[in-house]
Structure formats: structure tokens, C-alpha cells
Structure 1
Amino acid sequence: MTVKEITHILEELAPLGNAEDFDNVGLLVGDYNSIVNGVLITLDTLENVVDEAIKTNCNLIVSFHPIIFGGLKKLTGSNYVERVVLKAIKNDIAIYSMHTALDNVQNGVNTKICEVLGIENPQVLIPKKSNLKKLTTYVPKDDAENLRQHLFEAGAGNIGNYSACSFNLEGMGTYEAGENSNPTKGDIGQLHHEKETMISVVFSGIDQKRIVNALLNNHPYEEVAYDIVSLDNTNPYVGMGMVGMLNELEEEKDFLKRVKKSMNASIIRHSQLLGKPVQKVAVLGGSGAFAIDAAKATGADVFISADIKYHEFYKAENKIVVADIGHYETEQFTKNLLVDYLTKKIPNFAVRLSESKTNPIKYL
């Protein structure tokens, strides 16, 4: 398999278009056309990870965090980023990053945290805005079914657990073909009336190019009438964080002790305990202070995240317990998620879980 074929499989799980604008995701080092001998899954791409890839004959590293985040103006090996990139290039190793593309999908980083902690029926905590669009077009009645199917195959009409969703309205369309036209139906210079079906479908903005191509390539008219509008609706299946329910009520201290054990956390920093049972829990892997207000708005009893600053703990306002378990600790099981996913998709291919230590924070 090539790098392109494997990354295409990864993008079925986490489309790069779902990544945040500030992020740097996708293929960071390497050639899409290179043949892959093996894949090494890691949270961070450090020099020891590249060494592990060399030792295990893996020439594609799939990393959660991007090793290149800002612009590189030179490659002299003067810092750890440059050394990693130089070593990867020298040894023909490709590096692919997923980061917030995997954060923002329903079956990604935060769902894995919920799975580990036994949080059931998780829903997206902060749904992504301006992500949904609607296409409306008009097609001869006899051609409507064929066009609908091609739009569905391109990704239109997918709403949560439902697919092939559309609205259809029949009416009369008119047009007069100009002198230089080549009309599918009707005559040049004559007003033509055609029984048409109006088709409306909702789609994720990241699929727009593919869907428009499907429309233009499968519509019978020489000139295709259509419009695309952005919707104010939030997409409940794409966004940051998750919130769900525990199967049974737990006392605050008991729950935090279980979190510490399950997430292999050396320490938990938390806001004031409220002295009430825990059942509704919100989570956000990585730096999640920006989501404290959203977690409170859902009525969550506890919010689990990382990198919470001193003054940000005040945002709990005795309405929620904010628990910082560590950045690495919240994201560590992402590696297992990706290994399981790729192993199921390409079962006879070498996919390895990195054994290299990459957590930069140590505890005394």
C-alpha cells in the first residue's frame, strides 16, 4: 500500500477538513506515492520514535500531534523539531499528523476517553459551527433518481445515523436556449417547458467540492442551475469534547480516584469538591479550559481535561468540578484507537503501537 492509500483510510475516520484553522494536519514529511512497509502509531513524533520506526522497519509514522506546527525557515538540526524532520527525511520515513481532525470527530479522541471511563451515550460538547451547507438543484423528473444517487454517493444527505436524506418537490421549469447553446431538451430560440424535480440535500462543508463535481458530472443539462447556502445549524456530530452519563452515581472522591487509576494519572488538580454525587461527565482531551463554560451549560457534574491555569479553575464557580489530569494522560489512548482502527481496516498489514516514551512532563 502507498502512503496515500493509508492516509485515505485514516481520513475516512477523521477528515482533515474538520481540523481547526490554526492546526497543521496531514502529511508533514514524505511522498504520498511511497510504498509503506509498516505503520508506527504514536502520540508525538520525537527522535526516539523515529529511531523506533527505523528499528521496526516502519516507514510511515502516524502521529497525533504535528511535529511541525509553525513555519520552518531552516533545517540545521538546531532544535528537536529540525532533528526529527532531518532524521525522517534521511531514512525515507513519512510523518502524518491527525490532531484536531481526530479531536473533532464523534468516534475520536474524546469518545475514547469516555470508553475508558465508562461514560455512556456521549454527545459532542461543543458542536462545530458553520459546518453544514445545503445544495438545491433542479433536474428533469426522469433524471432525478439517477442524480440523487450520485449526490448521495458523494456524501450528500448524511445526517447523523441516517443517509440518503433529501427533499424533493416537482414543478415546471422553463428556459430558452441561446444561439450558441447545445440543449439536452428543447430547441434553440424556443421557450421550453420541462417537468422538473427540485432536490435539496444537506452536507458537510468539507465535502462540497466532491458533491459539486458529482452534480455537474451527472446532471443532464448543459448549464446546471443550483445554489449552495451555509446553514446556521450546528453540526451535532462534529466538534470538541464529549459529555455523557455514568451508569451509576459515584461519590466525587471515588470517581476522581477511579479516573486517576484508569487514566494512569500521577496527580489530579481539581477545583473545589461540591459534596454531591457524580453522574454526568464532560471530557476534552488536551488543553480544554475554553470548554469549562460549555461543560457547565450541559449540567455536567465533572469536567475532565488538561492544562488548566490557576485563574481558570475559578470558572467552576461551585457549579462543576474541574479536573486537570494532564495533557498526555487525556490523549494517551488515542494511539490504541488508531491501532485498532487501522488493524480492522487493513488486517494483514504491519501496524504497530509505539513503545517510545513521549510525555515531556515528569512527576516527583
Structure 2
Amino acid sequence: MTVHSITEILEELAPLEHAEEFDNVGLLIGNPKMTVTGILVTLDTLENVMDEAIETNCNLIVSFHPIIFSGLKKITGKTYVERVVMKALSNDIAIYSMHTALDNNPKGVNAKICEVLGIENPKILIPKSKSIKKLTTYVPKSSAPLVRNALFKAGAGAIGNYSYCSFNVDGKGSFRPDVGANPTIGKLGEVHFEDETQLNLTFDPFLEKKILKTLFKVHPYEEVAYEIFLLENKNQNIGLGMVGDLPVAMEEKQFLSLLKKQMNTTVVRHSELLGKPIKKVAVLGGSGAFAIGAAKASGADIYITADIKYHQFYEAENQIVLADIGHFETEQFTKNLLVDYLTKKIPNFAIRLSESITNPIKYF
């Protein structure tokens, strides 16, 4: 398999279009046409991970965090980032990063935290805006069922747990085929009126090329009239964080003990306990202080995340318990998730879970 064929499989799980605008995801280093000898899955691409890849004959590293986040003006080996890039290039090792593309996925980082903690029926905490597009096109009424069904099969019209969603308006279209045209309907030089159906279907932006290719293939007209709009609606099925319920409410300290055990951490930094049972739990892997307001608005009893600063703990305002368990700790199971996914997709391929420790924070 090539690097490209494997990245296509990864993007079925986490389309790059789902990543945040500030992020740097996708193939960061390497030739997409290169044949892959083995895949090493890691949370961070550090020098020890590169050494592990070389030793295990893995020439594709699938990393959660991007090793290159902003532009590099020099590559001299002065920093760990530069040394990793140099070693990757000199050993023909490709590096692919998923980061917020996987963060925003309903089966990604936060879903894994919910699974580990036993949180049931989790939903997206912060639904992603500007992640829905709408296609409007005009089709001869007799051809509307054919075109509509083809677009459905291409992925258009899927909304949450519903599929085959569309809005259809019948009307009258007009056009005149001019010199050079080869009309399916109508005659050269004559204005033609046709009974048409206006089709309206929403779709995920990462499907746009596939949907337009399908539209042009099945639409009977030589020139296809269509419009694509980026909607302001929030996508309830894509976004950061999750919130759900414990099977049974727990006393606060009892839940914090469970949290330490399940998330393999020796320390939980938390705001003042409120003396109320924990039932609804919000989670967001990585740096999640920005979502404290969303966690409170969700009605969660506790919000689990990382990198909360001193003054941000005050934002709990006796409405919620804030629990900071560490950046690495919230994302530690991500590489297991990716190994499981890739093993199911390509079971006869060499896929390794990195044994390198990449957590830069130590506890005494």
C-alpha cells in the first residue's frame, strides 16, 4: 500500500475538512506515492519515536499531534522539531497528523474518553459551525428521481441519524441553446421552457468533489446549473468535546477516584467540590479551558479536560466541578483508537502501537 492509500483510509475516519482552521493536519512529511513497509502510531512524533520507527521498519508515522505546527524558516537541527524533520527526510519516513480532525469526530478522542469512563449516550459539547454545505440544482422533472437518488448515494442529504433528506420545488425553467451547444432538450436558437424540479440537499464539505462529480455524471443537461452555499447552521454531529451521563450517579470524591484510576493519573487538579452527586459529565481532550462556559451551559456536574490556568478555575462559579487531569492523560488512549481502526481496515498490514513515552510532564 502507498502512503496515499493509507491516508485515504484515515480520512474516512477523520476528514481533514473537520479540523480547526488554526491546525496543521494531514501529510506533513513524505511522498504520497511511497510504498509503506509499516505504520507506527503515536501521540507525538519525537526523536525517540523516530528511532523506534527506524528500528521496527515503519516508514509511516501516524501521529495525533503535528510535529510541524507553524512555518519552519530554518532546518539546522537546533530544535527537536528540526531534528525530527531532518531524521524523517534522511530515512524516508512519512509523517501524518490527525489532531483536531479527530478531535471533532464523534468517534474520536472524546468518544474514547467517554468509553473509558463509562459515560452513556454522549453528544457533542460544542457543535461545529460552518461545517454544512447546501447544494441547489435544477433538473428536468422527469429526471429528478434519478439525480436525487444518485446524490443520496454520494452522501448528500444525510442529517444526523436521518438520510435521504431533500427539499424539492417544481417550477418552470427556460434556456436558449446558442451556437456551439449540443442540447439534450430544446433546439438551437429557440427559447425553451421545461418543467423542472429544484433539488436542495445538504452535505458535509469533505464530500463536495464526490457530489459534484456525481451531479455532472447523472444530470441530463449539457450545462448543469447549480449553487453551493456554506451554511451558518451548527453541525450537531461534528465538534469539540462530548457530554453524557453516568449509568448511576456517584458522590464527587468517589467519581474523582474512578477518574484517577481509569485515566491512569496520580493527580487531579479540581475546583471546589459542591457536595452534589455527579451524574452528567462533560469531557474535552487536550487544552479545554475555552469550553468551560459550554460545559456549564450543558448542565454537566463535572467537566474533565486539561491545561486549566489558575484564574480559569474561578469560572466554575459554584455551578460545576472543573477537573484538570493533564493534557497527555486526556489523549493517551487516542493511539489505541487509531491502531484498532487501522487493524480493522487493513488487518494483514504491519501496524504498531508506539512504545515510546512522549509525555513531557513528570510528577514527583
- TM bucket normalised to smaller: over 0.9
RMSD: 1.3
User: Could you tell me how far 1:75 is from its partner in structure 2?
Assistant: 1.4
Q: Report what 1:140 is aligned to.
A: 140
TM-score normalized by structure 2?
Answer: 0.97
Aligned counterparts of 2:26 and 2:159: Cα–Cα separation in 1:
26
In structure 2, how many angstroms separate the alpha carbons of the residues matched to 1:342 and 1:203?
26
**TM superposition shift of 1:54:** 1.1
Question: Are positions 1:92 and 2:92 aligned together?
Answer: yes
Take 1:143 and 1:153, find their aligned partners in 2: how far apart are those partners? 16
State the 1:231 CA deviation. 2.1
For residues 225-275 of structure 1, what are the alpha-carbon distances to aligned partners after superposition, in whole Å with 9 as ceiling and x for unaligned? Answer: 222223222100111000000000000000011001100012000000000
Instruction: Measure, in 2, the Cα distance between the counterparts of 1:93 and 1:236.
Output: 37
Report what 2:46 is aligned to: 46
Which residue is 2:305 aligned to?
305
Counterparts of 2:342 and 2:193, CA distance in 1: 53
Aligned: 1:202 with 2:202: yes
Deviations 1:179-224 (A, max 9, x none): 3422211112222222222211011223323322332333221222
Counterparts of 1:221 and 1:14 in 2: how far apart (Å)?
35
State the AA in 1 paired with 2:308: I
3-state SS of 2:296 partner? helix
Q: Could you tell me how far apart the structure 1 residues matched to 2:228 and 2:143 are?
A: 20
Counterpart secondary structure, 2:157: coil
1:112-123 equivalent positions in 2, closer than 5 A: 112-123=112-123
Alignment identity in percent?
68
Please state how far the C-alpha of 1:296 moved relative to its aligned partner.
0.1
Q: Counterparts of 1:36 and 1:149 in 2: how far apart (Å)?
A: 37
Alpha-carbon distance in 2 for matches of 1:162, 1:30: 39
- Name the SS of the counterpart of 1:200 in structure 2: strand
Matched residue pairs, number? Answer: 364
Counterpart secondary structure, 2:291: helix
CA distance in 1, matches of 2:50, 2:145: 51
2:76 corresponds to which residue? 76
Letter in 2 for 1:182: N
TM superposition score normalised by structure 1:
0.97
1:161 alignment counterpart: 161
AA matched with 2:271? S
State how far apart, in whole Å, the 1-side matches of 2:159 and 2:335 are: 28
- Structure 1 residue 104, shift from structure 2 partner: 0.5
Residue type of the partner of 1:127?
P
> What is the SS of the residue equivalent to 2:359?
coil
Moved more, 341-350 or 197-206: 197-206
Moved more, 95-104 or 185-194: 185-194
The CA deviation at 1:89 is 1.2
Distance 1:235 1:212 in 2: 21
Q: Deviations over 1:153-195 (max 9, x none)?
A: 3321121233332222333322222234222111122222222
Matched residues in 2 for 1:229 and 1:67: separation?
34
Map 1:326-345 to 2 at 5 A: 326-345=326-345
| Farther-moved stretch of structure 1 (208-217 vs 239-248) | 208-217
- Which consecutive residues of structure 1, in runs of 5 or more, have no partner in the other structure? none
C-alpha distance in 2, partners of 1:210/1:315? 45
CA distance in 2, matches of 1:231, 1:185: 33
Equivalent in the alignment of 2:265: 265
Residue 246 of structure 2 is matched in structure 1 by 246
- 1:149 Cα deviation after fit: 3.2
Could you tell me how far apart the structure 1 residues matched to 2:56 and 2:193 are?
67
d(CA) in 2 for partners of 1:344, 1:299:
36
Give yes or no for the alignment of 1:10 onto 2:10: yes
Give the distance between the partners of 1:53 and 1:232, measured in 2 at CA. 43
Distance 2:343 2:167 in 1: 38
Instruction: Supply the AA of the counterpart residue of 1:111.
Output: A
Instruction: Give me the whole-angstrom Cα distance separating, in 2, the residues matched to 1:140 and 1:170.
Output: 9
Distance in 2 between the 1:149 and 1:68 partners? 42
Structure 1 match to 2:359? 359
Describe the SS at the equivalent of 2:40.
strand
The equivalent residue for 2:318 is: 318
Q: Distance in 2 between matches of 1:201 and 1:53?
A: 45
More displaced, 40-49 or 145-154? Answer: 145-154
Is the partner of 1:27 in helix, strand or coil?
strand
In structure 2, C-alpha distance between the alignment counterparts of 1:150 and 1:37, rounded to whole Å: 38
What are the ranges of 5 or more consecutive residues in structure 2 without an aligned counterpart?
Answer: none
Following superposition, the deviation at residue 130 of structure 1 comes to 1.4
- Looking at structure 1, the residues matched to 42 and 230 of structure 2 have their Cα atoms a distance apart, in angstroms, of 36
- Give SS of 1:138's match: strand
